[in-house]
Amino acid sequence: MGDVERAAAAAAANRIAPWAISLRERLIRLLAAFDHHILVTEADDGLLEEVVDVAPRLAHRANQLRSDHATIRGLIEKVVTELDRPEFLDEAGVGQVRELILDLLHQIGHHRHLGADLIYQAYNVDIEASD
């Protein structure tokens, strides 16, 4: 995420093509990392199944995280596609790509927070309540 953010924030004026190439490379790496995240969390023996096994009440939240995966992955692909369109690479296009990146980073951050909350809710043991 940090590499994508830095690449998007880099100066693009008078160097839009190199800016787009750099950003695209980082987005492709982010996509690979995100695909790995999806594989690990959504596998039959993955984290989300484990959470639902431990705390069935959290099944809806686990499903929301699965849904987020498709949304976030689609947004990464959308930005890569936009960077591949030569007519998109002008000053206005740079601004639009940066807006997409901000949305993407926001969605990933929100997803991470929801995931952390899910794990906490599944495995937090209230010791005082059991005394």
| Residue-range domain boundaries for the chain | 2-123
**Residue % of the chain over a pLDDT of 90:** 80
38-56: pLDDT as tens digits? 999 999 999 999 999 999 9
Dihedrals phi, psi of 89, to nearest 5 degrees: -90, 75
In terms of Cβ atoms closer than 10 Å to its own Cβ (0-12, 13-18, 19+), residue 123 is exposed
Residues making up the chain, counted from first to last: 131
Confidence of residue 129 (pLDDT cuts 50, 70, 90): low
DSSP state of 4: H
Confidence of residue 128 (pLDDT cuts 50, 70, 90): low
Query: 64-73, 80-89, 90-99, 102-111: which range is least confident on average?
Result: 80-89
Instruction: Answer yes or no: are the C-beta atoms of 76 and 37 closer than 8 Å.
Output: no
Question: For residues 30 and 109, what is the distance between their CA atoms, to the nearest angstrom?
Answer: 13
71 or 14: which leads in pLDDT: 71
77-98: pLDDT as tens digits? 999 998 988 776 788 889 999 9
pLDDT average, residue stretch 90-116: 94
